[in-house]
Each structure stands twice: as structure tokens, then as C-alpha cells.
Amino acid sequence: MYIVVAIVFLSILVLVHEAGHMWVARIFRIGVPVFSVGMGPPLWKKKKGETEYRISAFLFGGYVKLKGMDPHERHDEDSFYSKSPWARMAVVLSGPFANFLLGFLIYFLIFSIKGIETPGTTKIGKVEASDFMPGDSIVEVDGKVPHNFWEVERWIKKGSRVLVWRKGRVETLRVKNKGKIYPFLLPVVDEIAPSSPAEHAGIQSGDTVLFINGVRISSWYDLQEFVRKSPGETLEIVVKGKGRRVLTAVPDTQRIVEDGEIKVIGLLGITAQSHPVYLKVSLPLAFVLAGEKFVDIVKTIGIVLSNLGRKIPAEEIGGPISIVVMTRKGMMYGISGVFGLMAFISINLGFVNLLPVLPLDGAHFLFALFEVITRKRLPEKALRIIEQVGVILLLLLIIFVLRNDILRLLKGKF
């Protein structure tokens, strides 16, 4: 099922990308001979105006053919290369922009419809560089009483007057450094990822983790920190659920982007039982939250790309099999999980297409930019060489990510 879901939403992302190109091309009166849903030989086609719409044999993605996109073709008045470099830049950037916009709109709809999921507590479980202490319960923020942790995080700012329940009495704080604060959560397991170390170890939903390697676990963050610091190590875990059990687990090793850095951590594949509440938000706030989410993803992509080959091995790059696995994990969190993943991949797809390699959009953008700066087009011979090298590099990249996926599959890392 998740394979079908992955294929469907990847196809939607590609079609949105191509539709962006077609829409802007028509604004600049560039001919669009073909718009195809799917790849390969056409199974059905119908001509409407100048454009032939197709459904092709392999229903994966799609493409749009712009007239005169090949610089070696004859350039009629409605061909791509007959237009100004500014028009060409707008056309090639419209595809990635469509993916960025789609990602933003999906997050906007998720926040608008589902709202915000947040732990229904005002107690702090963990702090980083903060005036607050683990165990503090927030009673009041600038005269307002919070009822959940989202309100605690959103309302507290530098200079806020905060009443906290600390060590059996109420104290008043004037916030100088909020830092990072996290909700208090008991070390109770909620969901378990399929084929994860936790599942292999026999951890079950509802289990309370009591000890790891003989160390008492009092909160979810005790558990999380112990596991994060132990990638690939054998852990003895004592849990209480259906009886008291002693289990053995080996956390997976994973690289993540955190605080602008690449970190190597251990993961068991479990989530905390947080007793969440769901808050409805206004459309303006949903717009702001979607924008914040978009910016976070862009920052993460930038950090990953800047560290690729250094702190992040190239072997970490995933391909279609990785996307299918991510889809399976996203489906664990319901429809919002799937669409959240779709938004994330859409934004990533926009960036991939900005790579300066033919036939990707980034290369066509650089050609047009070169023309703006120098007032000259690249020589045809240079274009042919760049085109041939670009196709080879793109094929090598496809082979490389497929190799990575297959090796992960054989090593059981999915």
C-alpha cells in the first residue's frame, strides 16, 4: 500500500513542478507542444489548442516539452531561446517555485485543518541555557494562564513575568534567557516503528522504561539522552508493562541536523506517550506556522548540502526505495504524516532541480544569467559539452542513490 502512496505523491510533485513551467511559459508566449502525465510511450492523448495532453505508459511523474528548449533547434518567435534571458530565468525557476509553494501550502492546510498537536502539560522536563529548571510547572505568563506546552513555549519571551511552581512553592521569574525548554514526559512508550530496534527487542506500546544498563530512568529525556549517546551499543533495558521484563536492544546509528550541526545519535524507533491536546489555530497563525516550518526545512537542507561529503558521507543520500520507506513511516502518523512528508519532499525536489547540471533547471538558469551578465550566449560547442557532461553526471547520481538504497536494503538498515 505504501509503495502505491509513494508513487502517487511523487507523481503529483513532479506534475506540479512541470505545471509551474507550463503556466509561466504560456505567460511569455512560449509554445508548449506536450504535457504528459507519466513517462514513456503515450497510452492516451488529446490535443487542446497547441498542446497535446498525454497519459503515458509509466505512471510515475511526468514532463512538459517547451518549444525550442534545445538551444540547437531552430528558434521561432514562440520558442524558448527566442525569449529574453529574464523570461527564460522566470520559466526555469517556476518549476522549483511551484514545489516550494506546494510544500508551504500543504503545511498551511495541515495547521489550518488539524491545528497543533502539543503535550497537555505545562511542566518542564528538560532545559538548555535557560532560567527555568527541570520540574518547573508554569502557572502564569504575563498574566495569562497556559493550559498546554505550546502556549508555554509561544507566550514566554525575554522580559516575560512568569509564575512557576518550583519545589513546593510559587516563585516569580523575570525571564532573561528562555533558552530551550521541553515538556515533562514520563518514560512510557507510545508508538513503535516497524522493524526498529525497539520492535526487535520486544518493547511494546504502553511499556514504562525503568532502567537502562542499571541506570534509573525517571523521564522520557533520561531515556532519550541515554539512547542518543549509545548508537550501535548493546543496551540492557528493564521495562514494566505486561509484567517486568529485561530486554536487549542495539540503537540504530543516524546522522541528524540539530542546532546547525551534524550529530550522530542512536535511535530505538519509539515515541513518547504525551497525552496530546489538539489546538485549533486561526488562518493567519496557520500561515505564520507554515512559514516557520518552511524556513526550518530550508535551513536543514542548506546544512546538509554544505556538509555533504564531509560530516555527512555521500552514502547517506537516499533514492526511491528510501522514499518508500519514509512513506511507510509517515503513514504511521496518519494522513497528516503522509502529507507532511509530501511537503518535505516537495521542498527538497525544488532544491534538487536548482542543481547546475543539465537537464535540470539550475543549469538553464545559469545559462540565462551568463547571458545577462556578459550580453552573450554560450557558444554552441560549449553547450553541447556541458549537456553531455550533465547527462552523464545525472545518470551517475541516479545509479549512486540506487546503489545506496540497495546496500541499505541488503544490510537490513531500512
125-133 mean pLDDT:
87
Residue in the structure block whose three cell numbers are 511551484:
98
Confidence band of 2 (pLDDT split at 50, 70, 90)? low
Predicted local confidence at residue 358, as pLDDT = 76
Q: What is the pLDDT of residues 270-279, one digit of tens each?
A: 888 888 888 8
User: DSSP readout, 98-159?
Assistant: HHHHHHHHHHHHHHHHT-EEEES--BEEEEES-SS-TT-EEEEETTB---SHHHHHHH--TT
Q: What is the pLDDT of residues 15-63, one digit of tens each?
A: 898 889 999 998 999 888 888 887 778 888 888 888 888 888 776 667 7
Predicted local confidence at residue 285, as pLDDT = 92
Radius of gyration of the chain (CA): 26
At 66, list the grid cell: 517547451
Q: CATH number of the domain at 189-266, out of 2.40.50.140, 3.30.70.1060, 2.30.42.10, 3.50.50.60? A: 2.30.42.10
Nearest partner of 65 among 32, 17, 93, 27, judged by Cα: 32
3-state secondary structure of 219: coil
Predicted local confidence at residue 145, as pLDDT = 93
At 243, list the grid cell: 509484567
Predicted local confidence at residue 1, as pLDDT = 62
As a whole-number percent, the residues of the chain with pLDDT over 70 amount to 86
Confidence band of 326 (pLDDT split at 50, 70, 90)? low
Residue 413 has pLDDT above 60, yes or no: no
Q: Exposure of 223 by Cβ count < 10 A (0-12 exposed, 13-18 middle, 19+ buried)?
A: buried
Predicted local confidence at residue 54, as pLDDT = 85
Residue 104 has pLDDT above 90, yes or no: yes
Residue 95 has pLDDT above 70, yes or no: yes
Residue 330 has pLDDT above 80, yes or no: no
| φ and ψ at residue 393, rounded to 5 degrees | -65, -40
Distance CA 331, CA 238 (A): 29
At 41, list the grid cell: 510511450
Residue in the structure block whose three cell numbers are 510544500:
103
Q: Can you state the percent helix, strand and coil of the chain, rounding each to 5?
A: 45, 25, 30
Dihedral sign of CA atoms 57, 63, 65, 70 in order: negative
Name the residue with higher pLDDT: 165 or 196: 165
The reply to whether domains 118-183 and 189-266 share a CATH topology is: yes
Distance CA 32, CA 20 (A): 12
Q: What is the pLDDT of residues 298-324, one digit of tens each?
A: 888 877 777 665 665 666 666 666 666
User: DSSP readout, 168-208?
Assistant: TEEEEEE-S---EEEE---SBEEEE-TT-HHHHHT--TTPE
At 218, list the grid cell: 525517571
Distance CA 354, CA 75 (A): 25
Predicted local confidence at residue 288, as pLDDT = 93
Answer whether 255's CB lies under 8 Å from 262's CB: yes
Distance CA 13, CA 349 (A): 8
Q: Which of 3-7, 18-22, 248-252, 356-360 has the lowest mean pLDDT?
A: 3-7
Domain positions in the chain: 94-114+283-414, 118-183, 189-266
The average confidence (pLDDT) of the chain is: 83
The two counts, helices (H) then strands (E), for the chain are: 10, 17
Name the residue with higher pLDDT: 16 or 10: 16
Q: What is the pLDDT of residues 146-166, one digit of tens each?
A: 999 999 988 999 899 999 999
Name the residue with higher pLDDT: 183 or 410: 183
Q: CATH number of the domain at 118-183, out of 3.30.310.80, 3.40.50.1010, 2.30.30.110, 2.30.42.10? A: 2.30.42.10
Q: What is the pLDDT of residues 361-372, one digit of tens each?
A: 888 898 889 888
In this prediction the pTM is 0.78
Taking the CA of residue 216 as centre, how many other CA atoms within 13 Å lie in the half-sphere pointing to its CB?
A: 1
Answer whether 378's CB lies under 8 Å from 370's CB: yes
Confidence band of 142 (pLDDT split at 50, 70, 90)? very high
